[in-house]
Amino acid sequence: MAVFVCPRCAHRVTGAERTQGHQPRGCPACGFGFVFEMMDDYYAGPLTALICCDQERRVLVAGHAAVPVTGWPEGELIGQEVSAALALEFPDATDDPIARSLEWGVRVLQQPCTFRPHGLDAPRNAVADIFPAYDDDGGLLVALTPVTKG
């Protein structure tokens, strides 16, 4: 069953709730203007940054946990190409997982990566889950969860 996740507050809405809902497009929890469709259920952790991008990979929404995780004010991320804005790198990948997700319309889960938080010189380790959008506008959702390597 499809699940919709609010990029702003990470609230989950099931497809059934959505079709009977009073707000057919937006988030019933925080009122944000749209929710992102997932083919399978997904729970964003408290420190999972949800970043919505358009099909050119430009940031549309730096939502749930994005500011505390990345240190960037949302206004400085919007419109930026997501990999460049966060210095996202996927050292273990043989390709660009974001490009793969966009091109093939597939989810790319649990990708080890590094990103550069605002104001810090050292990159931070994280895991990225990348979800393609299923609507006509295309685009994708990047869920970035910092990890501490022990």
Interface positions with Zn ion (CB under 5 A) = 6, 8-9, 11, 27, 29-30, 32
**Closest approach of Zn ion to the CB of residue 87, in Å:** 28
Please identify, using beta-carbon distances, which residue of 69 and 98 lies nearer to Zn ion: 69
Please identify, using beta-carbon distances, which residue of 8 and 116 lies nearer to Zn ion: 8
How is the chain split among helix, strand and coil, in percent rounded to 5?
20, 30, 50
C-alpha to C-alpha distance for 17 and 28, rounded to whole angstroms: 10
Listed in sequence order, the residues at least 6 apart from 144 whose beta carbon sits closer than 8 Å to its beta carbon are 48, 49, 51, 66, 69, 70, 86, 88, 113, 115, 126, 127, 128
**Closest approach of Zn ion to the CB of residue 21, in Å:** 13
Please identify, using beta-carbon distances, which residue of 11 and 100 lies nearer to Zn ion: 11
C-alpha to C-alpha distance for 47 and 57, rounded to whole angstroms: 22
**Closest approach of Zn ion to the CB of residue 84, in Å:** 27
Number of Cβ within a 10 Å radius of residue 27: 22
Please identify, using beta-carbon distances, which residue of 8 and 57 lies nearer to Zn ion: 8
**Closest approach of Zn ion to the CB of residue 10, in Å:** 7
